Chain A
């Protein structure tokens, strides 16, 4: 009897591979179709957009991983982290402290604000157990109200500011809708991080490909027990080798791919550092606590883990990283849209992570990076697809919004549906 159930489950595993990765597959198909249909998108334009979006958004998406592992689900509440980041930027901008030092001051100021916000959000999530995701969504809306009150009214009316400052509304009360963050050479924050060091795109591809290839080969040689090499391994090695060849070829012949925008090295290092942090923390005691709380809160509590505290720590971490992620995002944008920049962050980041193949209970750096690439490919392509297929770019933009919401709904719905089905099977 046990045998047959096992077999049935195994069969299901094979057939449900598509179902497990349906969101990712939809996005890959969409992007490929986009390339076939649209005529206006050149490869260079696409790569330009994609790389700048990757470095802009990756940090924010990576900030979602820890709460998922700690069983809190997808933290739409990173919006409040983004608000903390914007507060820090507003303060630094007001005193016109520019350049790299100004940027690191932003990181520093954002840290306690975001930690405090994260602490409160964590308390709230502990009180709304089982409904964290909807609570995190609503807490973003709620905080937005307070944020607007703070920026529109308190600044100027209660906190005394210089009314002629270019950031402040002409009436002397409230921060302007858009605040220019000036280039670094004029004492601002724009590209403060990105412009520290830049290397040509193809060189970056070359370095990354060599690096990945080395990791794959080395890690596979280390596992001496499992010398069986999967087809996936060969596929990865082949892909890396091809990328190396393409990049070397471009560098030598100096073809059009060399004109793709240069890559910001320090931003990339920060993103990689967060990836490594996400990996390393799971190896510590705290990380193990995250994992056991994520798997089963009762068992974790019985084995002596302070569940509530662990969940709060996870939320605080996520919120702080989100604040920093928003600072990275804004220094790249160059303007602070005071009242709009943060509102969509939660939705887009969650959608990106889900597109990469994550779910409510599993997420990794790989999901985040693949997700950012695929999600933003869709974002770049959809207006052109709309134009090419229906002669209307607006249609593509609406379609884009539909994809964002649809992806989140579909991924979450499928996950719950599958868990419900599994628990029913075990019950029977």
Chain B
């Protein structure tokens, strides 16, 4: 979207300012939108779906900002935070909360759990400096697999969540049952024709963006950024880098936990078991598409990236289905775009040479 606005200045300026990947994805998205219009797919529906999915995924993407800024790279261990969020979510259901109180309890419960998890995770990352991304990926994978055991053994008895026979929780939990599906989406929701604005969802997302932006401007936020840009310089100026890295990863983990609760209520289902396994990659790809690198990220990158990435995916699905009947091309495209952009970002990481 920004690519279109700024077309007045010279082309080179735009490319260097916005970033090539951002422009390519934006161009591609506009192309699919135009194609959609020609194929009689309502542009209003496409845009409102995009907004809905951007708001849904937004906070998960926002969780990348503190970890990238602190120098630990994109948070590939996003599932650590996600399972904390899911755990508080099912606990809130088990305790019998419904509706708004369910949402509040889930979020309140998730914050301390995610703080502890984030602290331990930050400690781990400090021990494995230099290979954070690989270790983080496997930490995320391991925790998801470990939680599969927990979901299966947890002695929660609420019939809305259990299997019909035997112990353990269901793979997907319908949030309709606790009156929590699309809770935020429907708050102040309004429609113009087939154009639907999920106001509450977007407000929550923008609220967290604002908080994050304020944080990056705060003393602690600046200290974290300084440590991320130049660890030696920051250390020389008396900053405790290890502590800052831990704080950043606590923030990231807490945001991931809140993010999955917002995601689940919008989706209408909470996905347990292997659901969160690959969620980190989509979030990493989104912020990279927004113009972030593996060592530098801003809140604006989150907003641009999540709209472009989710926009492309939501638009491509119906369009591709009309052109290539019987083939799920959007899933293939998601794989190529998402992993392609991560690879591109990895080639831009400097250093690492022994």
Q: Residues on A close to B: CB < 8 A?
A: 71, 124, 127-131, 133-135, 137-139, 141-142, 144-146, 148-149, 152-153, 171, 173-174, 296-298, 390, 392, 394-395, 398-399, 401-402, 404-406, 408-409, 412-413, 416-417, 420
Contacts and interface: CB of A to CB of B under 8 A. Distances in A.
Given A402-B148, A416-B128, A135 B343 contact: yes
Given A130-B349, A138-B281, 4 more contacts: A171-B326, A296-B354, A392-B166, A406-B142
B34 interface: no
A142 B144 CA distance: 22
A124 B351 CA distance: 15
A137 B333 CA distance: 18
A134 B346 contact: yes
Contacts of A408: 138, 141
Contacts of A392: 152, 166-167
Interface of B: 76, 124, 127-131, 133-135, 137-139, 141-142, 144-146, 148-149, 152-153, 166-167, 281, 324, 326-327, 329, 331-336, 338-340, 342-343, 346-347, 349, 351-354
A131 B336 contact: no
B142 A402 contact: yes
Given A134-B346, A141-B339, A398 B127 contact: no
A144 B332 CA distance: 8
A420 B125 CA distance: 12
A402 B326 contact: no
A350 B334 CA distance: 26
Contact of A153 (B329, B343, B354): B329
B327 A173 contact: yes
A297 B352 CA distance: 11
A142 B339 contact: yes
Contacts of A129: 352-353
Given A127-B347, A141-B281, A142-B336, A153 B137 contact: no
Contacts of A296: 354
Contacts of A152: 327, 332
A412 B125 CA distance: 12
Contacts of A145: 332-336, 339
Contacts of A174: 327
A71 B324 CA distance: 44
Nearest to A298: B354
A276 B181 CA distance: 61
Most buried by A among B281, B327, B352: B327
B332 A134 contact: no
Nearest to B333: A145
A395 to B, nearest CB: 6
A130 B336 contact: no
Contacts of A420: 127-130
26 contacts: A128-B349, A128-B352, A130-B349, A134-B134, A138-B339, A141-B335, A142-B339, A144-B335, A145-B334, A145-B336, A149-B336, A297-B353, A297-B354, A392-B152, A392-B166, A398-B152, A402-B142, A402-B146, A405-B144, A405-B145, A406-B146, A412-B138, A413-B124, A413-B127, A413-B128, A417-B127
